[in-house]
């Protein structure tokens, strides 16, 4: 399965840690349990989640529910799968089109590229897609979106560089309604050093969209650069507090071995990872699959 093989490399660090425990079948004793604790904490799955897992596994060991490392491995896999099954990875499609998807995140995280990838997926599924170029801060940002759109044969709504992003959002929403578009995806700017103005700007974008479509945006997704680890978690926390988020696109998983961070994104921030980015091409986006993720994590 594509997801499984493609995410494997991104989970290398965590997988290496775990496999050092499960290489040879051993009977569980206090020393193995101690070893497990250490490995879980160093496996990039977040310390809160590592603790939660460890406590459950220790209880299962003490009550003799699990007695060897093979059983421990299955126990941990089941626990993780159960956790990830609580993650709602679906995209909320409006009962009445258009569906509006607002994409946010700091500059360089992979927003514009992820939007192109998402647009291609929806287009391949038969949806009519429109893009809104609301990152008006730099001309290059508008151009970059436009280049993707032309490549994919998708229309964009754009204004000149420096114009009000909310005005673009308004026009894009209006165009989506009048042109019978199924899915409008809105690109935004992400200058985090101007946090206050940025958040006000995003708030205004949301307000003008709502003027036209009260239930929109139907999805607000943050794009996180997986290579930045803890920083990415902090960004998600900030955006979630200020504008609210429905989920995460975890980009650049091909360039890092920090894939384990899917777990703290969900367990600490309660945000589902809905898609993962695995490269710079339009087809390098995969819907997140929790069971396959866990299998890849424990592959030896
Ligand atoms: N390797 C890799 N590069 C990516 C991925 N997503 C985005 N990029 C690259 O990251 C850089 C910044 O992406 P961009 O979409 O412009 O980010 P934005 O500033 O948030 O819009 C570009 O060079 C992209 O090609 C990914 O999943 N994998
Ligand atoms: Mg961009």
Strand ordering across the sheet containing 99-104: 155-157, 129-134, 183-188, 99-104, 219-225, 247-251, 273-277, 285-287
- The CA 45 to ligand 2 mean position distance, Å, reads 29
Digit-coded pLDDT (tens) for 186-200: 999 987 656 678 888
Is pLDDT of 1 > 80? no
Render the burial of 51-81: b for 16+ CB within 10 Å, e for the rest. ebbbeebeebbeeeebeebeebbebbbebbe
Name the residue of 9, 110, 144, 248 to mutate for ligand 1: max ligand atoms within 8 A of Cβ.
110
List the one residue out of 293, 255, 298 whose CA is nearest residue 273: 293
Which tokens sit at 280? 């710079």
Q: What pLDDT sits at residue 194?
A: 62
- The CA 119 to ligand 2 mean position distance, Å, reads 14
Which tokens sit at 140? 């290059």
Which residues lie with the beta carbon below 6 Å from any ligand 1 atom?
Answer: 105, 107-113, 144, 223, 251-252, 254-255, 277-280, 284
Ligand number, closest to the Cα atom of 138 = 2
State the closest ligand 1 atom to the C-alpha of 113, by its place in the atom list counted from 1: 15
Name the residue of 113, 221, 227 to mutate for ligand 1: max ligand atoms within 8 A of Cβ.
113
Percent of all residues in the chain with a pLDDT value above 90, rounded to a whole number: 81
- The CA 168 to ligand 1 mean position distance, Å, reads 23
- Of 136 and 258, the structure prediction assigns the larger pLDDT to 136
Average pLDDT rounded to a whole number, residues 252-270? 92
**CA 89, CA 250: separation in Å to the nearest integer?**
12
Average pLDDT rounded to a whole number, residues 73-83? 97
- The residue whose two tokens read 């994919």 is 152
Check residue 126 and give left, alpha or beta (phi > 0: left; psi -120 to 50: alpha): left
Q: What pLDDT sits at residue 13?
A: 85
User: What is the reported pTM?
Assistant: 0.95
- The CA 3 to ligand 1 mean position distance, Å, reads 19
Average pLDDT rounded to a whole number, residues 262-289? 96
- The CA 109 to ligand 1 mean position distance, Å, reads 6
Contact criterion met (CB below 8 Å) for 111 and 225: no
């Amino acid at each position: 399965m594509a997801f499984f093989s493609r995410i494997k490399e991104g989970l290398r660090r965590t997988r290496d840690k775990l496999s050092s425990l499960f290489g040879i079948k051993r009977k569980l004793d206090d020393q193995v349990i101690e070893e497990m604790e250490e490995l879980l904490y160093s496996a990039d799955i977040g310390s809160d989640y590592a603790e939660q897992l460890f406590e459950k596994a220790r209880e299962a060991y003490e009550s003799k529910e699990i007695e060897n490392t093979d059983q421990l491995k299955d126990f941990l896999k089941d626990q993780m799968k159960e956790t990830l099954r609580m993650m709602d990875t679906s995209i909320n499609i409006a009962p009445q089109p258009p569906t509006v998807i607002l994409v946010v995140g700091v500059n360089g995280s992979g927003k514009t590229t992820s939007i192109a990838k998402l647009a291609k997926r929806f287009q391949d599924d038969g949806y009519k897609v429109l893009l809104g170029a609301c990152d008006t801060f730099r001309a290059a940002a508008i151009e970059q979106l436009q280049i993707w759109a032309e490549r994919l044969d998708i229309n964009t709504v754009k204004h000149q560089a420096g114009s009000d992003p909310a005005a673009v959002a308004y026009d894009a929403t209006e165009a989506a309604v009048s042109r019978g578009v199924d899915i409008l995806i809105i690109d935004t700017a992400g200058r985090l050093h101007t946090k206050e103005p940025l958040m006000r700007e995003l708030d205004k974008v949301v307000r003008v969209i709502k003027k036209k479509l009260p239930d929109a945006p139907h999805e607000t997704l943050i794009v996180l650069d997986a290579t930045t680890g803890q920083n990415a978690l902090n960004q998600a926390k900030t955006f979630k507090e200020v504008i609210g988020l429905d989920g995460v696109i975890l980009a650049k998983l091909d360039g890092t071995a920090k894939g384990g961070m899917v777990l703290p994104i969900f367990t600490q921030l309660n945000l589902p990872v809905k898609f993962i980015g695995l490269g710079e091409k339009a087809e390098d986006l995969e819907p997140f699959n929790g069971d396959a993720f866990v299998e890849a994590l424990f592959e030896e």
